[in-house]
Amino acid sequence: MKNIIRNIFIAGVAVVTVSSCAKKLDLFPQNDLTPATAYSTADGYKNVLAKIYGGLASTGNTGPAGSSDIQGLDEGSQSPFIRGFFNCEELPTDEAVVAWNDQTIHDFHDLKWSSSDPFLLGMYARPIYNITIGNEYLRESTDDKLASRNITGADAESIKESRAEVRFLRAFNYWVMLDLFGKSTFITEDDGIGTFLPKEIQRPELFSYIESELLAIQSDLAPAKTAVYGRVDQAAAWALLARLYLNAEVYTGTAKFTEAATYSKKVIDAGYALQPDYRKLFMADNDSQKDEFIYAINCDGLKTQSYGNTTFFVHCAAGDDHADFGVGGGWYGYRSTAAFASLFTDLTGETDQRALFTTSAFTPSPEQLVINNISDFNNGLHVNKYVNIRSDGGAVSDVQNNFSDVDFPVFRLSEMYLIYAEAHLRGAGGTDAATALEYVNKIRYRAYGNSYGPGEIGKLSSADLTLQLVLDERGRELYWEGHRRTDLIRYGLLTSGTYLWPWKGGVSSGTAVDSKYNIFPIPAANLTANPSLTQNAGY
């Protein structure tokens, strides 16, 4: 059964009274509801909380299109969170190319985007919109506000407890801004609603803010593994801290690998377990995978219809084989490269169960993997990771097979294993090689069908555990989940000539590009609307 977040999602709820600065940016729709009406009852708070969570899966108040949260952009391709995040994190890397030629979409794999890119405008706007809704909720859920509305007892306590969840979601959206843009428009509940233009926060200060928020709310969130599926708890905060600290040297210039290991270990020790069958993590009933999922964005084929959540995944990678993806038709768009396929032909020569492709990565013919023409969907490795098919053989919620039930995993246990291993190799205090090796081998044990095979082939020794191995293992384990760009930047590989893949930089054999592309530009429209903002170097 789908969880409470889906059940209470009311698509028509409007929750933000728009400030004049937002009007200037033309990001938010006008609406007739004010805080006095939207928050007049306990149920109203639940509906708004659902909207805050739902802003990561849906794009407006009438899915899949209509009453868009963000005006002036294509609601299906340019304003969704999951699709936009995927385009930013995967398309610039070896893990994804796209056949379409929609506006500037090819610029992502070519690593040549500009500040006028409409997809980047949407990706900047979406987290800020989500943050704005969260700020309003925090303003309207103080003790004084609840008392003034005669909301008391268990209802009041539930709303108070939800404040930590909202602060987490705000911190998560700010982490997205930190990672992609290096800085952000900065607004909190203390800024209120008025005529001011939001100030800008730089990368080191934004890192510190996110860190302080996550540390502050730890004790206020539900204990690890006790929250209703789809809502965040302490482990989600620890997982985001672990990810934040792993990349701290990129974000601030100061390494925090000991902290990354500490918080990944807190998650690991909270009682999570790997699902033995990797494929089940990305199927239509993956809401049952709460033992491995620390936090997932809920997607439902009826209640959160959107062309920009996991519906995008199951359609964009499908062609004539769309039945294998559990959808009624393919979009003939996204696939991967031969460089990524090579990660699955490791020293063992055995089949890695994570190689979820409709084109075999192990016995490929040249015409299957070599991309002679980016616009030809038949060129490249076809990825069959996300499928709108239930593992139990049951029916999906959308019987027309248009919209996906697959939830998007934000944090999984295996990522925490790999963070610990990498942090150890990078000198984290309090870690040991045996534990790091054990964690990586647990991932590989599952990958090889819960068996290392004859003679334990596939099982790593201490000599095998290197930073390159961990990077490759992250590629095999976490592909198409929104990690690759960040990983390649951390390893100094995204823009340099050290590692090339097909069509990197727009060249068939791959080429180095300007290091400015390690970060995205602030959209020109935002700079025009708000003189407080500044552009990133090189743009």
Question: 349-363, pLDDT tens digit by residue?
Answer: 457 899 999 865 555
Residue 244 contacts residue 259 (beta carbons within 8 Å): no
Residue 347 contacts residue 472 (beta carbons within 8 Å): no
Tens digit of pLDDT for each residue in 14-58?
333 333 233 333 343 334 457 788 899 999 999 999 999 999 999
The total number of residues written for the chain in this structure: 539
Q: In this predicted structure, what is the pLDDT of residue 456?
A: 76
Q: Is the pLDDT of residue 465 over 90?
A: yes
Q: In this predicted structure, what is the pLDDT of residue 25?
A: 37
Element (H, E) at 201: strand 199-201
Q: How confident is the model at residue 195 (pLDDT cuts 50, 70, 90)?
A: low
Averaging pLDDT over each range in 343-352, 458-467, 500-509, which range is the top one? Answer: 500-509
Q: In this predicted structure, what is the pLDDT of residue 196?
A: 77
Q: What is the phi/psi pair of residue 170, to 5°?
A: -65, -45
Q: Is the pLDDT of residue 287 over 50?
A: yes
Q: In this predicted structure, what is the pLDDT of residue 223?
A: 98
Pairwise CA distance, residues 440 & 417, whole Å:
7
**Mean of pLDDT values over 140-167:** 97
Share of the chain above pLDDT 90, in %: 83
Share of the chain above pLDDT 70, in %: 90
Q: Is the pLDDT of residue 346 over 80?
A: no
Residue 119 contacts residue 18 (beta carbons within 8 Å): no
The average confidence (pLDDT) of the chain is 91
**Mean of pLDDT values over 108-114:** 98
Place of tokens 């191995």: 469
Indicate the range of 94-108, 169-183, 189-203, 280-294 predicted with least confidence: 189-203
Radius of gyration of the chain (CA): 22
Q: In this predicted structure, what is the pLDDT of residue 351?
A: 77
Q: In this predicted structure, what is the pLDDT of residue 528?
A: 96
Q: What is the phi/psi pair of residue 297, to 5°?
A: -85, 120
- Distances from the Cα of 38 to the Cαs of 12, 60, 128, 237, 258, in angstroms? 11, 17, 20, 28, 44
Peptide bond into 64 cis (omega under 30): yes
**Mean of pLDDT values over 531-537:** 97
**Mean of pLDDT values over 366-394:** 91
Tens digit of pLDDT for each residue in 386-424?
999 999 999 999 999 999 999 999 999 999 999 999 999
* Residue 288 CB neighbour total at 10 angstroms: 16
Q: In this predicted structure, what is the pLDDT of residue 15?
A: 34
SS3 of residue 534 by DSSP:
coil
Q: Is the pLDDT of residue 441 over 70?
A: yes
Pairwise CA distance, residues 124 & 137, whole Å:
21
Q: In this predicted structure, what is the pLDDT of residue 367?
A: 65
Tens digit of pLDDT for each residue in 217-257?
999 999 999 999 999 999 999 999 999 999 999 999 999 99
H-type alpha helices, 343-432: 366-369, 413-425
Q: Is the pLDDT of residue 184 over 60?
A: yes
Q: In this predicted structure, what is the pLDDT of residue 142?
A: 97
Q: In this predicted structure, what is the pLDDT of residue 69?
A: 93
Pairwise CA distance, residues 155 & 415, whole Å:
36
